[in-house]
Amino acid sequence: MRVIITGGTGLIGRALTRSLSNQGHEIILLSRSPERARNLPQGARAERWDGRTAAGWGSLAGDTDVIVNLAGENIGAGRWTPERKRRIRESRIHAGKAVVEAVEEAAEKPRVVIQASGLGYYGCRDEETITEETSPGDDFLAEIAVEWEASTESVEAMGVRRAVIRTAPVLSMDDGAFPRMIRPFKLGVGGPLGSGKQWFPWIHIADEVGAIRFLMENPEADGSFNLTAPNPVRNADFARTLGRLMRRPASLPTPGFVLRLLFGEMATVLLGGQRAIPQRLLDLGFSFRFPQAESAMKDLLQ
């Protein structure tokens, strides 16, 4: 099987590439600077792209089984200034249009397109249980997610199966949110964020990759899927469990006003809650390796 991955040098893309390589698949990573994509596993190579069009790589889509579109500027890399918001939006929309352009050019279409999105699609919902049937929110991340998902929708009219992955914060020691979460605990100043009552959806990197592979290979999998562990926890409970496993205190909350001063509008991601459930994955029979937060953290910390 040949797989093209946009955004393949990010946390999820790297882990997915390793998983596919271990089973002998061919992986093509699209990168603005392919010369920097070093130490790739066997069967993987990097090709240049501009992040906006199919120029230079579109011809590869005709011999490809799967395109995984993960490309998009990191929403947590800085305060959401008007310029940052523009880049966040355009990086996602342009990448989606490039995928559509490549599929249009292909005489033989890929079997499936996996389109990235996030649980930000739903906005902050407090105590409401969120499934894939829940309507989108109306904040910045929700608006971006709606556009991001729509950017590749037209491949379905070309006969290509499409699965949209609305991913929760991914727990991994390699990168992402978890290393930043454990840092204050190492210093003895860990604790919940804000009130700690907000729901915290999460997914272990092994289950994130496993779910993507499951959706790639399952011909019944189309439409939207919440990629989140089936047991969300409240922020305070997550902090207490993490502190206990690290043998560190977890009693120093970070007040909401401090987070708003530090991060501005982006603080809503930390202070808002989503009680999200992966209902469609469960209905299709996907089995999570780490359904509970404690077992996920133990695996990562050992």
| Beta carbons of 221 and 163 less than 8 angstroms apart | yes
Note the pTM of the prediction, 2 decimals: 0.93
Q: Which pLDDT score, from 0 to 100, does residue 264 have?
A: 76
More confident residue, 162 or 52: 162
pLDDT band at residue 273, thresholds of 50, 70 and 90? confident
Using CA atoms, how far apart are residues 140 and 16, in angstroms rounded to an integer?
Answer: 28
Nearest to 118 by CA among 179, 181, 169: 169
Interval 103-155: pLDDT, tens: 999 989 999 999 999 999 999 888 999 999 999 998 999 999 999 999 999 99
* Whole-angstrom Cα Rg for the chain: 19
| Beta carbons of 128 and 134 less than 8 angstroms apart | yes
Interval 291-301: pLDDT, tens: 999 999 999 99
Domain ranges of the chain: 2-171+201-230+276-290
Using CA atoms, how far apart are residues 68 and 268, in angstroms rounded to an integer?
Answer: 28
Using CA atoms, how far apart are residues 11 and 170, in angstroms rounded to an integer?
Answer: 9
For the structural domain made of 2-171+201-230+276-290, what CATH number should be given? 3.40.50.720
Question: CA dist 32 to 17, 61, 182, 280, Å?
Answer: 17, 18, 32, 34
Q: 253: which 2 tokens?
A: 């909350």
pLDDT band at residue 265, thresholds of 50, 70 and 90? confident
Using CA atoms, how far apart are residues 105 and 98, in angstroms rounded to an integer?
Answer: 11
